[in-house]
Structure 1
Amino acid sequence: MTAVAADRVVEELESWLDAYAAPDACAATLLNDGHAPHAVAFRLLDAGYGERVLTHGELRDLSSRLATGLAERGVGQGDRVGVLMGKRAEYVVTLLALWRLGAVLVPLFTAFQTGAIETRTSGSGARLVVTEPSQRSKLDPIAGLDVLVTGDEFDALLTREPLAAPVAVGGDGLLAMLFTSGTTGKPKGVPIPVRALAAFRAYMHFGLDVQDGDVFWNAADPGWAYGLYYGILGPLVAGRPNILLDAGFSPDATREVFTRCGVTSFAGAPTMYRAMSKDPSFTGFSLRRASSAGEPLTPDVVAWGRDALGVEVRDHYGQTEHGMCIVNAWHDDVREPVRTGSMGPVLPGFAAGVVDGQIALDVEGSPLMFFRGYHDAPEKSAERFTPDGRWYLSGDIGRVDEDGHFFFASRDDDVILASGYRIGPFDVESVLVTHPSVVDVAVVGKPDEVRGEAVTAYVVLAPGAVAGDELAVELQQLVRNQYSAHAYPRVVHFVEELPKTPSGKVQRYLLRQRQD
């Protein structure tokens, strides 16, 4: 990075921190009211690809009216409100209405069933949920909830007089309470303050390099961190519209949106890229940027992207607790060549290292870090920091090279100890997924009397592939030849699907519990 670029980076970070951490910071002003009324806030596509453009002026008017209606229902500053809705206009209008009142969003993923919804509403203290008709029945068994459903009741609130002025909650005031995905245990509430917008803005700018004129599409669901932070909040605060497709993911749907909308910058989960890479017809695009986050990106997808998308897919790392913090950044001021298997260096505004084998953030050296602890969980919060409070411990095992590039190995709980060796599942999975018969794979350690643990692979096959001993031997030999003889899977199971959280992360602890 040149001296001029370094000065520019510092100046931009300081300006965002000053604005979003200020005592009088107002979420609605930062996210909506500061943009020109005619500027596009979101491009909304329904399942049939019908498009509606929502401008900042429309969003301002509708959300101000809804805020008045919600206030009539007793919603005020600090109140937690669940939102259980697809990616439609009413969704973003509801979010802005809550933030105008200083209320706190509790995102609820539409694939959740009643139990998962109740965990989050009771854990956050939410007493109102705004939803759509297709989701309404999930809320019936939950006692004590007030429910507002889109349709006539919702639309009537949009006829109210606009709220006179939005509530300024300050940089430490809460925007949202987002629960972790439950990869390793019970979901925990993560408070998201207004000052977190500085971190989201930094990633949009430096990490994704979304520029004026880009057609940006973050396809992640806003019920989870990557979709909420960088599909809703990041685009709003940066003034860079996002596409919201109110339909499930598929390679066919992705191809359609790419073509219809002329997408130039795409962000999504590794599972999306893997599915696209297994479709031979998914090719011929010319994106300017392609970014991945959620789980480590296997090298075969990076290679595929150069041919099919016209650009390499860059891997980025983060967690619900702090957003993206280690990235193969795209912006010219900070971009470096990608090193195979690396998640990249730290995002400007963060400082990181490796502590006791874990990827860790230097709290004092990370002005963009907003996590201070989980909601009502002091013991779990303490586990996230070293005793002196200096380091935030991610729980992810990794390493950093001499130039500051980070490499992921596994979750701390997922390391396999076999015959005295520490084996990271990701390294083995990265080899196995290159086999043309493999669509998805997860590797875990299972108890073994001789080795301590045996490397065990659970493999999802491509259509037409034949499971059996012959293929299992092929996969074992592939790992021996391309990675290491000590790490090949002693056992290979062929399964229909892998257990995953709704955000797409593999729940390896469930595989370890299986009695195959």
Structure 2
Amino acid sequence: MPLPHDYVDHLLAVYAADQANVAHLLCDRHDPEAVAFTFVDDELNASPMTYGELRERSSRLATSLAARGIGLGDCVGVLLSKRPELPVTLLALARLGAVYVPLFTAFATGAVEMRMSAAKAKLVVTEPSQREKVDPLEWLPQLVTGDEFAAAEAAEPLAEPVAVGPDAPFLQLYTSGTTGKPKGVPVPVRALAAFHAYHEISLDHRADDVFWNGADPGWAYGLYYGIVGPLALGRPNILHSAQFSPESTFRLMERFGVTSFASAPTVYRALSKSGLETTARLRAASSAGEPLTADVSDWAERVLGTCVRDHYGQTEVGMMICAHWNPDAETENRPGSMGRPLPGIEAGIVDDAIAFRTDSPLLWFAGYRDAPEKTAERYSEDGEWYLTGDLGSVDEDGYFRFTSRDDDIILMAGYRIGPFDVESVLITHPAVVDVAVVGRPDPEGIRGEIAEAFVVLAPGVSGTAELGDELARLVKEQYSAHARPRRVHFVEALPKTASGKIQRYLLREGDAG
């Protein structure tokens, strides 16, 4: 059956109400006996946390944070691994009307300092293994897990959480820095409506699912849809403390009977290239963060019993265009397509770029923090469209296809070459584990730019000139002669952001790292 005609109106009535209360929406309204998170350690031991425990612990921590001077609108950095104190801190800040600023645990001191200074943070919550990154910031007070955190949680519970309304920020993230300096993105309470819709429509997160979003909550996809989204729906997510490996991922899926998995394409690619066997079987598999190549989905159907559906979004707006899993959304999984917009989002192509109507009910971006010029770049001259900066196309049925970021397009002798198309061919070669294609100046000065491929090879494979020629021919034969890479570089690894996105600008500049 189709979705109710008032589906979006219902979400906005809940999450964009005048007295919207984040603590109530994410925790207090849910069954206190229901599991909010299952924490899994390196040995696959599981520790559940119920909504009742989350409410109690966060209410007590909120009292202690208030005593430290944390209140309405104050930013607090959170440099924590996937441990119980992370959602406890998020809810404690929500109870005070404060703003949670995630920090990825792989950050060095410089990255932490940049974000904390830009956010004018009043406190950072961290753990012993991360303190050496924060200690040099003498101006920034700390709350550290262990005895200090336990003492903070021993306070009397906060009487009433603060209702901040739909437009107040409760999160502030920073863009991943694929094209330049990270920018602050305040996330208002009304964004919860879009997060809820993504879980219900795109992920089809069902009450009987064993759901696992493997993304790190230091970044948008892991925080929006591994922490906040499940809390909004009142459904659990698995938080696994171990570093990613194909072995540990398959073991966890098998041990806990995961039915719905969400992660980045790099994770699926590593699983597919591992050569490991697994008994895990999924009902749904979802991918976000980078374009998904067809080989990954084909592998998943053979090995995991389901295809992988591609989902598209940005830190600034969340996930907006998806190959939805919910059958009521009537979306096919078309090869090369990332699907159709969420209900409540009107999307189109403006100057060859993917764009969203600014009056779309579920579009929540209101601008970067303290960066009016950068904010203005996000809108069309008439103000009617939010411009993603990503090139794409849409077919007659409303299915969108990603081409590349605007600054990733390769302009060669009048041709426009999308790197994703070339990468999709190269990754099918059994010797290729990872690949990025960029445009660099033609040394002969004839074509303007030429396509160059940076290739990570499988263990034991040598990067010979013959293999480079073979890869170029593969593109010529399976895609197009004009798009074949004129140069193939064999590298040990690709430069990536901490969230796994390829930093193509470093490759274009000749600094492959």
Q: Please indicate, yes or no, whether the TM-score normalized by the shorter chain is above 0.5.
A: yes
Q: Distance in 2 between matches of 1:134 and 1:446?
A: 41
Query: Would you say the 8 A contact 2:64–2:155 is kept in 1?
Result: yes
Amino acid at match of 2:242: A
Q: Distance in 2 between matches of 1:395 and 1:35?
A: 39
**Local SS of the residue matching 1:106:** strand
Q: CA deviation at 1:282?
A: 3.8
Amino acid at match of 1:426: F
Q: Deviations over 1:443-478 (max 9, x none)?
A: 001101111111100000111212111111110111
Q: CA deviation at 1:335?
A: 3.1
Match of 1:443 in 2: 437
Unaligned runs of 5+ in 1: none
Q: Distance in 2 between matches of 1:228 and 1:370?
A: 16
1:318 to 313, 319, 332: 313
- TM-score between the two structures when normalised by the length of structure 2: 0.98
- TM-score between the two structures when normalised by the length of structure 1: 0.98
Q: Distance in 2 between matches of 1:450 and 1:282?
A: 49
1:362 and 2:337 are equivalent in the alignment: no
Match of 1:432 in 2: 426
Match of 1:119 in 2: 114
Query: Would you say the 8 A contact 1:374–1:381 is kept in 2?
Result: yes
Matches within 5 A, 1:414-493: 414-448=408-442, 449-493=445-489
Match of 1:379 in 2: 373
Amino acid at match of 2:238: I
Matches within 5 A, 1:33-182: 33-182=28-177
**Local SS of the residue matching 1:274:** helix
Q: Deviations over 1:173-195 (max 9, x none)?
A: 11110000001000000010111
Unaligned runs of 5+ in 2: none
Q: Distance in 1 between matches of 2:314 and 2:53?
A: 33
Q: Distance in 1 between matches of 2:41 and 2:68?
A: 30
**Local SS of the residue matching 1:487:** coil
Matched length: 510
Q: Deviations over 1:75-94 (max 9, x none)?
A: 11110000000000011111
Query: Would you say the 8 A contact 1:174–1:191 is kept in 2?
Result: yes
**Local SS of the residue matching 1:440:** strand
Amino acid at match of 1:309: L
Match of 2:199 in 1: 204
**Local SS of the residue matching 1:473:** helix
Q: Distance in 2 between matches of 1:160 and 1:370?
A: 36
Query: Would you say the 8 A contact 1:127–1:144 is kept in 2?
Result: no
1:257 and 2:217 are equivalent in the alignment: no
Match of 1:408 in 2: 402
Q: Distance in 1 between matches of 2:258 and 2:511?
A: 45
**Percent identical residues:** 62
Amino acid at match of 2:68: R
Query: Would you say the 8 A contact 1:128–1:148 is kept in 2?
Result: yes
Amino acid at match of 1:68: T
| Superposition CA RMSD, Å | 1.0
Amino acid at match of 2:440: K
Q: Which moved more, 1:333-342 or 1:174-183?
A: 333-342
Q: CA deviation at 1:515?
A: 6.4
Match of 2:304 in 1: 309
Q: Distance in 2 between matches of 1:255 and 1:466?
A: 29
Match of 1:388 in 2: 382
Amino acid at match of 1:384: R
1:289 to 271, 284, 288: 284
Q: Deviations over 1:415-448 (max 9, x none)?
A: 0001110000000000000001101000001101
Q: Distance in 2 between matches of 1:248 and 1:76?
A: 34
Amino acid at match of 2:330: R
Q: CA deviation at 1:283?
A: 3.9
Q: Deviations over 1:144-168 (max 9, x none)?
A: 1001100111100111110001000
Q: Distance in 1 between matches of 2:122 and 2:151?
A: 21
Matches within 5 A, 1:186-265: 186-265=181-260
**Local SS of the residue matching 1:64:** helix
Q: Deviations over 1:186-206 (max 9, x none)?
A: 000001011100000000000
Q: Deviations over 1:11-42 (max 9, x none)?
A: 33211111111110000000000001100000
Amino acid at match of 2:438: V
1:329 and 2:324 are equivalent in the alignment: yes
